[in-house]
Amino acid sequence: MQAWPEFVTVKEVGPRDGLQNESSHIPTNVKIEWINLLSEAGFSSIEISSFVHPKWIPQLKDAKEVAAAIRRNDLITYAALVPNKKGLEAAIETNVDEVAVFMSASESHNQNNINKSIEQTYPVLREVVEEAKHHQKRVRGYLSTVFGCPYEGDVPVQQVIDLAARLLDMGIDEISFGDTIGVANPKQVDDMLTNIKHELDMERVAMHFHNTHGMALANVLVSLEHGITTFDSSLGGLGGCPYAKGASGNLATDDLVHMLHQMGIETGVQEEKMREAASYIQQALGKPLPSHQMQVINRMKQGESL
């Protein structure tokens, strides 16, 4: 077994991926304050919003306002999701540090999520990548449904590798493999990464797990054994995918950070300030967050013994 890494990068995606599924309106000032609290907690990368058309994700229609008002730290990468060149223009206008493009590893999910075939998606992404690079922006790529599709079931590993290679060849700096519906298990992750490491640059690979069936942390452990040191997560376990039925709950940042710190792996994240940020958004949403760490905190607040 490969030795555990000394440091892991935790990319906080809660303000985008966590909030996009929330049905109740979240005021812009709440989003801004939450991102400010996340900045103070020591995250090196925060995905602040998505520059998509409001009709697709109404919750994030205030992306420009949020990006303009947050208190920025030069040591933090503030990222945003962009679907096309128009979204990129808005992201550049608000001076985000990194843009993220996205597509699916399965044809059916890509059609439902982007309304385009996989082949039709590549030219759109290439245009975004080239323009972003022209403006000296770092570009990240999300490849969804790599461990399973809600419409097609299993997705062949070689198909995932081929699509990822095309994205990396396009100039994308880092690719994040997404378990969009939370079906991945440790053996499946082990098999996929065993195959991928022979064909892709693992230093440019990140993992994005969902905890639908409670296996996200187990999948992180397997990924660590393969040398993966970058993970996406959402504070409190917020989020999911609006175009994948049943895809509830991202890997919870607070559970991930707690586990890594208990293992002696550094993240740069201050747990106390992270918990303050989690408590803030929990109170703003008016409902308990699903992460184990927040369940502990909530029980303690109610005077229950652990």
DSSP-derived secondary structure for 23-38: -S---HHHHHHHHHHH
Residue 241 is a catalytic residue: yes
Other CB atoms within 10 Å distance of the CB of residue 201:
12
- CB-side neighbour CA atoms (13 Å) of 249: 19
Q: Which of 41, 52, 139, 241 is catalytic?
A: 241
Q: Which residues pair with 207 in a beta bridge?
A: 177, 231
The torsion region of residue 237 among left (phi > 0), alpha (psi -120 to 50) and beta comes to left
Distance of CA 196 to CAs 90, 161, 186, 210, Å? Answer: 34, 6, 15, 20
Q: Secondary structure of 190-258 in the HEC alphabet?
A: HHHHHHHCCCCCHHHEEEECECCCCCHHHHHHHHHHCCCCEEEEEHHHCCECCCCCCCECECEHHHHHH
Closest CA to 204 of 168, 232, 157: 168
What tokens were used for 98? 């990194």
CA angle 145, 206, 3 (to 5 degrees): 125
* Residues recognised as catalytic: 241
